[in-house]
Amino acid sequence: MKKVGFLGVGEYLPEKILTNQQLEKMVDTSDEWITTRTGIKERHLAASGEAASDLAFKAAQKALANANFKPADLELIIVATITGDMPTPSTAAILQNMLGAPKAACFDLSAACAGFVYGISVAQQFIASGTYKNALVVGAEVLSSITDWQDRNTCVLFGDGAGAVVLAEVKHGGIISTYLGCDGSKVDILNVPGGGSRNPATHTTVDAHQHFLKMSGNELFKIAVNTMTMAAQTVLKQAGLTFADVDLIIPHQANSRIIMAVAKKLGIPEEKVYLNIERCGNMSSASTVTALVEAVAEGKVKRGDIILLDAFGAGLVWGACIIKW
């Protein structure tokens, strides 16, 4: 099998920032509640009219520049998102045109917060098999567009952003092991009930706020801790490694309490856990990739390091990945 690794990484976070103090004026909440329950202090929000492809484009441009790679040479573009520009065409197709990448096959991937890990795993298969030589994988979300700004249970949690990576065959390092999974019996505890073919958009669905994310947070919390722990253990075992070999864990950023509970169960010390949740909130498919991009930029990921990505979200889906940087 060909080794598949990262040629370049990039992120884009919208300029506008919404702080907990500003949220206090919008719903019945407090900075103290949000900080202690979630670890979030602020989040970035897309400007009016700014869509997932706009965020994806800026992140992709940075990743391509970082990789010193021309868009015209791209052979595959995968955009992991649950907030694409429109139901069809794919955001990846829109991005292809923005970038000027006419050779690339394009599709979107819907695996919620595990979308980026699913995306790099799919791209890895295409490259390892020789079907494509390279791939751009983007996690891009405008979650503010499906957030109910009157519901304090959810509106304090989410943010907007995008991260991108360029993947190709590498001589050293690369993706060592991935583990993906799903439990489709629990779709009811995290979903957007309106707007799909089950419940198409009508005045009634809009009036009932059915186009916004609905979440049984408390129920999800325990499942998230157990599933992320299991996914990390499974992917490490597949890779023939132990937790002592891991230099940095980059988890999905839904809640710092979930992340620290997972780290504790795995016996991984806090200093080996990368967090950007305080500044970004939960950006679904964009969370894991932006955290990776930032960890690299801060020098927390060095050549030869073993990185563990660990993500969980609506589906319920999960994805874990071991990378040698």
Nearer to ligand ACO, 159 or 173 (CB): 159
At its nearest, how many Å lie between ligand ACO and the CB of residue 154? 7
Contact 20, 34 (CB under 8 A): yes
> Could you give the C-alpha distances from 113 to 67, 206, 310, in angstroms and in order?
25, 25, 10
Which candidate, 51, 115, 123, 105, places its Cα nearest to that of 80?
Answer: 115
The catalytic residue among 20, 66, 113, 321 is 113
Nearer to ligand ACO, 16 or 152 (CB): 152
Burial class (CB in 10 A: 0-12, 13-18, 19+), 214: middle
Distance from C-alpha of 43 to C-alpha of 128, rounded to nearest angstrom: 37
Distance from C-alpha of 293 to C-alpha of 6, rounded to nearest angstrom: 11
The catalytic residue among 20, 106, 155, 252 is 252
At its nearest, how many Å lie between ligand ACO and the CB of residue 187? 12
In DSSP terms, 317 is beta-bridged to 182, 313
Q: Is 252 considered catalytic here?
A: yes
The catalytic residue among 155, 276, 282, 321 is 282
Contact 80, 55 (CB under 8 A): no
At its nearest, how many Å lie between ligand ACO and the CB of residue 192? 9
Nearer to ligand ACO, 96 or 290 (CB): 290
Nearer to ligand ACO, 132 or 158 (CB): 158
Residues 6+ apart with CB under 8 A from 25: none
Residues contributing to the site for ligand ACO (CB under 6 A)? 29, 33-34, 37-38, 112-113, 152-153, 156, 190, 217-218, 220-221, 224, 254-255, 258, 282, 284, 313-314
> Nearest to ligand ACO by Cβ — which residue?
217
In whole angstroms, what separates CA 295 from the centre of its chain? 14
Nearer to ligand ACO, 27 or 170 (CB): 27
Q: Is 282 considered catalytic here?
A: yes
At its nearest, how many Å lie between ligand ACO and the CB of residue 61? 26
At its nearest, how many Å lie between ligand ACO and the CB of residue 146? 9
At its nearest, how many Å lie between ligand ACO and the CB of residue 311? 9
Bond prior to 71 in cis (omega within 30° of 0): no
Distance from C-alpha of 199 to C-alpha of 205, rounded to nearest angstrom: 8
Nearer to ligand ACO, 187 or 297 (CB): 187
Distance from C-alpha of 309 to C-alpha of 246, rounded to nearest angstrom: 11
Give catalytic residues, as residue numbers: 113, 252, 282
